[in-house]
Structure 1
Amino acid sequence: MLVLKNKQEVTDFIQSLKYKGLTIGFVPTMGALHSGHLSLIKKSIEDNQYTICSIFVNPTQFNNLMDLEKYPRTEDSDIEKLNAVGCDAVYLPKIEDIYPKGTEIDPIDLKGLNSVMEGASRPGHFEGVATVVKRLFLQTQPTNAYFGEKDFQQLQVIKQMVKDLNLPINIIGIPIKREENGLAMSSRNIRLSQDYINKSTILYKSLIQAKELVKCHNNPKEITQIIKKLFNNSDLKLEYFNIADEESLLTPEEFLQGTHYRAFIAAYAGDVRLIDNLRIL
């Protein structure tokens, strides 16, 4: 596997692939890779002639500096995992490769998808995500790019950005990979104690219950109130539970036939923030 350590190296590599007319699959990550990430790599390898993964902990998407400092960094083991699954290249940009003029944000119209749920809880987060992904796209020029549905709102934001900027890239979402107990795989799970790993199953259980409640409730707000009560005696602190239209990410007054809806949840297990989601209709 080729290890690309700066913008010039990735530019030269991509140009050589483009010259040969080869398709490029791209998986941008912040490292601390787990089976969820590797499922994206495997799908990219299946779909494309070359696959490149980037590892870059992006400072502009963190509105909490402590969270940025604590974010797990496991570069050596990440490279081993990528090599083992057959990834063709890994890009390890330095901060100046992505932000040569300082950590400024690009003005990108995200059509309000950045203002609800994660966007409301983490002001500026999606502006940072859109900026770094846009810059990585321009450097790697992929045919297809792969994102996990655990960050479903992020997936919709990226799709909107690509549409708004008219980038010739197919954005492909990959279903959530879960632990045996239902907990969504996340790089942050490394920081969970075994006790919190066990207790964090309440996130997935609440999503499953919401899916069941849809069968007898047509009012999303009623379901939300029922789910919130599950956390009254939980050791996890619920930040939000929301049901939204998958396209607009807005909460409807009632469910409409022919429209897909998804339940979204964020909660704290100690000082570790966890998110999850599930299509419920």
Structure 2
Amino acid sequence: MTVVISTIETLRATLDKALDSVGLVPTMGALHAGHLSLIQQAKQENGCVVVSIFVNPLQFGQGEDYAKYPRNLASDRQICEEAGVDIIFAPAVDQIYGIGEITQVIPPESMTSVLCGRLRLGHFTGLATVVTKLLNIVQPHRIYFGQKDGQQLAIVRRLIRDLNFVTEVVACPTRRSPSGLALSSRNQYLTPDQLVTAASLYQALQVAESAFRAGEVAVNALTSLAQNSLSPDVDLEYVELVDLETLQPLANAKNLSMLAIAARVGGTRLIDNIVLN
């Protein structure tokens, strides 16, 4: 049976009794098949699986969708029960951050000022802060992230290395709908027509990937191919090629570089990426 815990004190007391390795799947809830794949991987590799459900206000900027971000703990609990999750950690905001000013964790500017960081000011500081707190609270052996948000994944890896956490980061493949659209909690904002439009993000990345495999390495050529393959109803924010680890822009594509895209379909912001190999 899955236990729902809302306080740090109770979670720590419960985990103190865990005899096996602990795997943490951090989420903001609104769980879908992508989250489920992380949970399944964690189940395979750990004796105790903790899923955190916390809509982190520090990751939302002014005018973003914090207030309307989907929240349905009952549905999330059912998914976790069926997947065999041991513990759901679902704290309130004041349980995580208390009241008043807090210490925040600031990742390297070189990693937060590119890609999504240009417009989502403060987002990755919010990410780094809550991940650091969860690592300290849960003290997991492994922490699980999807590859869909490549910038997030790179920043978490750097954080864990720089702050000398012993937790292993496990990256899991992006789960997709049959159309190729990367699964996201925000997909539920899209209409049926917009879901079709949104699928062109991955299709555009695939066009560029095919060109790379055929020998094209010029960044301008690859990004232009992707851009020109998008549906006209996509409002493109960026399509860029960066180093997978450092997130720095590349002049030429190479193996294990990341082609990343962000765009809006209707009012919904979507991201995706492909690792060229």
Verify same fold: TM over 0.5.
Answer: yes
Mark the CA change 1:103 to 1:217 in structure 2 (over 3 Å): closer, same or farther.
farther
Structure 1 gap ranges (5+): none
Which runs of 5 or more residues in structure 2 are unaligned? Answer: none
- Asked if structure 2 preserves the Cα contact closer than 8 Å seen for 1:220 and 1:251, the reply is no
SS at match of 1:33: coil
Count of residues paired in the alignment: 275
Q: Give the match for residue 253 of structure 2.
A: 255
1:13 to 2:14 alignment: yes
Residue of structure 2 in register with 1:242 after alignment: 240
Indicate conservation of the 8 Å contact 1:105/1:128, yes or no. Answer: no
Q: What SS does the corresponding residue of 2:41 show, helix, strand or coil?
A: helix
Residue type of the partner of 1:88? D
- Aligned residue runs from structure 1 range 187-266, under 5 A: 187-214=185-212, 215-231=214-230, 234-256=232-254, 259-266=255-262
Q: Cα deviation per residue 1:70-121 (whole Å; 9 max; x = unaligned)?
A: 2111111000000001001100111111101436351334362222101112
Structure 2 CA distance for aligned equivalents of residues 196 and 63 of structure 1: 24
Q: What SS class does the counterpart of residue 274 from structure 1 fall into?
A: strand
Give the distance between the partners of 1:97 and 1:181, measured in 2 at CA: 40
Structure 1 counterpart of 2:72: 74
1:87 partner letter:
V
- Classify the secondary structure of the residue corresponding to 2:114: coil
1:175-222 alpha-carbon deviations (Å, 9 max, x no partner): 000001100000000111001001111101001001012124221122
- Counterpart amino acid of residue 222 in structure 2: I
TM-superposed CA distance for 1:244, in Å, is 1.2
* TM value normalised by structure 2: 0.95
Q: Distance in 2 between matches of 1:34 and 1:9?
A: 27
For the aligned residues, what is the CA RMSD? 1.5
* Partner SS state of residue 113, structure 1: helix
Runs of 4+ displaced beyond 6 Å: none
Length-normalised TM-score, structure 1: 0.94
In structure 2, what residue type is equivalent to 1:225?
S
Say whether the 8 Å CA contact 1:105–1:127 is kept in structure 2. Answer: no
Mapped partners of 2:65, 2:103: distance in 1:
19
Matched, 1:24 2:25: no
Q: Which amino acid aligns with 1:236?
A: V
